[in-house]
Amino acid sequence: MNNLEKPYLLLPIETKVREFQAKVLLSCFAAEKGFHVLLADQNEMLRQLNCLPRGIYVDNSIVRTRIRCFRKNLRIGNRIVAFCDEGLSFRVAETYLKERISDEAYGMTDYFFAWGQYHAETVKRKLGEASSKVICAGNPRFDLLREPYKSVFLPERERILNKFGPFILINTNFSRYNHFMGRDFTIKNLKAGGRIQDEKHESFLEKWAEYLGEIYRKFIEMSVELHRAFPDRKIIIRPHPSENLEIWKKATGLFPNIRVVQDGNVIPWIMASDVIIHNSCTTGVESYVLGEPVISYCPITSETYDSFLPNSLSRKAFCLDELISLIREATADPIAFVRRDPSTRQVAERYISGITGPFACDNIVDMLRKLVDESPSLRIQEKISFLENGKQQMDVRLITAKRLLKRMIMRGRGIDAYMKQKFPGLELQEVVQAVELFRETSNRFHDVIARTYPGMHSCFLISQDAR
């Protein structure tokens, strides 16, 4: 198959610390199966979509606000598949379906890749007869938790340990209360996107934010108490990517052993820590799969607002004394602490496809190849004439000017800083290094290389033949 016959996969990244390595890994799997993969900052890719080759666009969600993006992709001849980053451990099923699953957006996709059986069943409940495109594939993020790929994080684990020494890791999940853009941002954003149905729904979300605020304050108290109880260890607080880090820093700044960080993927931080503490956070599930000691701190509880999966896969502490006791147990004998109850394994397998057997990347790329086989036009990239390319560049400049005007209006609310926190930039060397690490640890991807894609910032071509 020559280069003009290779189908393209368009793979945008929205939140770098959460997605980068997983999407490079998916790119490697796809390149082995004959794809050219364009890996890019999501905003940059959407700005220049008209100038890119036609292919399969992979989105992170099917929320209502993606409809415009999907229409643009379909208009220029792209096909669309999607995941849902929030689909693994949502707290309230009905709220998740209202906020994250748009029938119209789903209708524009060829496949929707579910995390596992429970996620698929929940989504199908809403979609009904239209649910045949829901595939239990798993997610590439969890391929990184399995050998051989988790070994790529060992150098970073050592760097963290050399810098911080022994530490307790606190992962937080309070963006509905402590959002980077302010405490009322989440509800305002949902309103603007048409995802709040009525006053009852809005009241429900406001009470949810208040509940999270209570837990947030308990977590601040908890971090200070752990600082006192474990003076020989650092207390590392790692907020959710959408949270306001400065508020955490102000609340804990007087205590020298407490650090607030948001540096790189969470996996090496989990691997380097003595024990992980969370409440209703996906990192609780990641810690469980990695076989690391993990505790869910539940100073208050709610059958409505607490997330079942991460809490059920963790040891639970309902007060500070119980938490401190469990931490001492975990640090004294971590192997005994993580000894598995068979029932938790059954829960994990119901919620997560791809933690055993074929990797999620295999499942996904197999479906993408099937889509290409059914759509021969995806294999042939028509050359763009100089005149057409000039018109497309003009369209891009007009779109960019409109976006810049909107950004200038939003700048007073810190939107630029928020976007930089989510995607602080990406360099070719980072992509090349990630590909090389996956090659070394797996003994595959030998012919896969990465290079900068011409004319685009933070966009890279990954392929077996990218010359």
DSSP 8-state class, residue 453: P
The H or E element spanning position 20 is helix 16-32
Specify the pLDDT at position 183: 83
Token pair listed for 85 = 């980053």
Phi first, then psi: give them for residue 184, nearest 5 degrees: -100, 5
Q: Which segments of 313-385 does DSSP mark as H helices, in order? A: 320-332, 334-337, 342-351, 360-374
Tell whether the torsion through CA atoms of 235, 327, 301 and 314 is positive or negative. Answer: positive
Give the distance, in angstroms, between the CA of residue 446 and the centroid of all CA atoms in the same chain.
Answer: 27
Specify the pLDDT at position 404: 45
Phi first, then psi: give them for residue 50, nearest 5 degrees: -65, -25
Task: List residues bridging with 277 in a β-sheet.
Answer: 170, 295
Give yes or no for a contact between 289 and 271, defined as CB atoms under 8 angstroms apart: no
CB atoms within 10 A of CB 433: 14
The stretches in the chain having pLDDT less than 50 are 383-411, 466-467
Omega before 148 within 30 of 0, i.e. cis: yes
For residue 33, the number of C-alpha atoms closer than 13 Å in the C-beta half-sphere is 22
Cα gap 26→8, rounded to integer Å: 13
DSSP-based three-state secondary structure for 378: helix
Token pair listed for 290 = 């990695």
165 conformational bin, left if phi > 0, alpha if psi -120 to 50, beta if neither: left
pTM over 0.85? The answer is yes
Give yes or no for a contact between 168 and 237, defined as CB atoms under 8 angstroms apart: no
Specify the pLDDT at position 176: 92
82 conformational bin, left if phi > 0, alpha if psi -120 to 50, beta if neither: beta
